[in-house]
Structure 1
Amino acid sequence: MTTVALNSSVPAVVVAGYIAQDVIIQSESDPTREDFSRGRVTFAVGGSGANVAAWLAWTGAAVELVGVTGADAHADALIGDFEATGATATVARALRAPVVASVIDAGGDRHLVLDAGGPFNNVPFPLPHRRPAWLHIPGFLLYRDDLQQQTLALAANVRPTAPISVDLSSGYLIRTLGGSKILSLLSEVAPETVIMNEDEAEAMAKSCQPEQLAPRVVIHRGAKASRVYTAVGWFETSAGIRKDLRPLDATGAGDAFAAGYIAGIMRGMGEPAAIEFGHILAQIVITMPGGQPPLHDILDLARTGLSNSPP
């Protein structure tokens, strides 16, 4: 087995993932019922791992995305835009980058259409250039047949030296694959932390209790208080996302939450403060199209809260 390449003494959060093209279509009507609709189309860097990595960089964390993307000139631009966030991309390149179209109708309902790109079956992930201080894995990678083995290999390489978190990513895919399959994959990864939303928790509940998934389990529930399981048992946080916020686009909300939570834990925050920071980042991302952070500091409150939090 290959081992992690320690090309830098500076540790970093390593995020597994792919760099994709996000296309966000905001319609003034319901495009599924009408043959013409006015609206706004936004193109952005996407992919769950790329979103988490970019938000981690936005908090000031050293972060490296390890995974894949396309080999065409269009992917060149995606990599450049991604690295403009301050994160580093260490990616193998082949065929086409994934494309995710998010269609948002006038009522705020979102419909996702995925062009998976690749396929990447024979494309091994590069080794991280930075020493991993934490590895985060979006569940989407474990659920894709052409990325699953590379992701498991990366986890096996990192596991002896750094904690691992997994975001379950999709209630729909959990129901499609079955909870027993998810449990099998998690047993191979052996994460210290599993992060999921309420729908994903309900999907897994048919196969196991949440506390069976990992030593630490975080269930974020939108505007409701998050639930957390640790060695001392279950507890709820004081609040979730602000109830008075009207989301523009929910794309990447879970990714931003995961990034804020990981950043908080790595800075020595307690569970409640780290989850609150995750909620802050999620609140930012849902007010704009796409899942990436702003390239300018529209809310210094987030960083101020992180820097001033007690250890």
Structure 2
Amino acid sequence: MNQVVKENQTTEFILLGFSDLPQYQMALFAVFMLTMLIALVGNSIIIAILSLNPQLHNPMYFFLGNLSFLDICLTLVTVPQMLKNFLVEKKTISFTGCMAQVYFFWNFTSAEDFLLAVMAFDRYVAICNPLHYTMLMKKRLCIQLVVGLWVTANLDAILQTVLTSRLSFCGPNEINHFLCEMTPLFKLSCSDTFLNEMVIFIEGTLVVMGSFSVILISYVWIITVILKMHSAERRSKAFSTCSSHLVVVTIYFGTTIFMYFRPSNSNFLTKEKVASVMYCILVPMLNPFIYSLRNNEVKRAFRRAIFERIFAQKA
């Protein structure tokens, strides 16, 4: 029996994506191509601005630079394959390519969960313990936090990928998604997926809800401290340093929690794809605008960089 399963093992999958909308394929291609370009250019500009301006070399912007790098990685993992499938009739991905996408996708999304929690902790220290901020949030600690979240996310992704790659796929090979997500992959497996589903639920709970809990607790303390401030100007300034992060957290975790803690029902497949577009395509595109439009220091650095470039060309 094992020999038969091995011989019939699926060597490639078909990513159905948005093939149920054949009349909109080129329009969707144009929209997602533009979205990818905006995400890549916007996040690259954020990284460049933060790197070239010494006054922005502090923990908050160090973490923001890492977030922009993660958004670039997440965009490159998800969008190019989807764009290719809009243009070709055979929308296939090899088994190895599928497992690679599972690994990188889980790695980058887990790292982003942890990073948003770290950024919330940074804002908590800055607002609730401002006198000790520079002493607590030293460069060494910031680097350790980022290295720690990358290592943890990588180990998490390896575990999920190894468990998924050990499943047998000997039947239908059509994935009703635009990327190799583990949940639709489990539906195609002809082996028992109970262990995989338990691990993904436990890991998802620990990563997503753990990170979200850190963010929630941090902002409870932050809001409590802000409301006790007597100066309206201080309250406004404190809120402004958190507003961008809160907007990103709301969009990102709202769609992520929907993805991994929704009822297991085929009626949710379309909503699942829409949620995936939100948190792994639209959020990376919106982040540079959210942080730059609501952050005066970033806007000033951006304008200064443009003016310096213009004056340099004239000289």
Q: TM-score by structure 2 length? A: 0.25
More helix by share: 2
Which gives a bigger RCO, structure 1 or 2 (Cα 8 Å, sep 6+)?
A: 2
Q: TM-score by structure 1 length? A: 0.26
More strand by share: 1
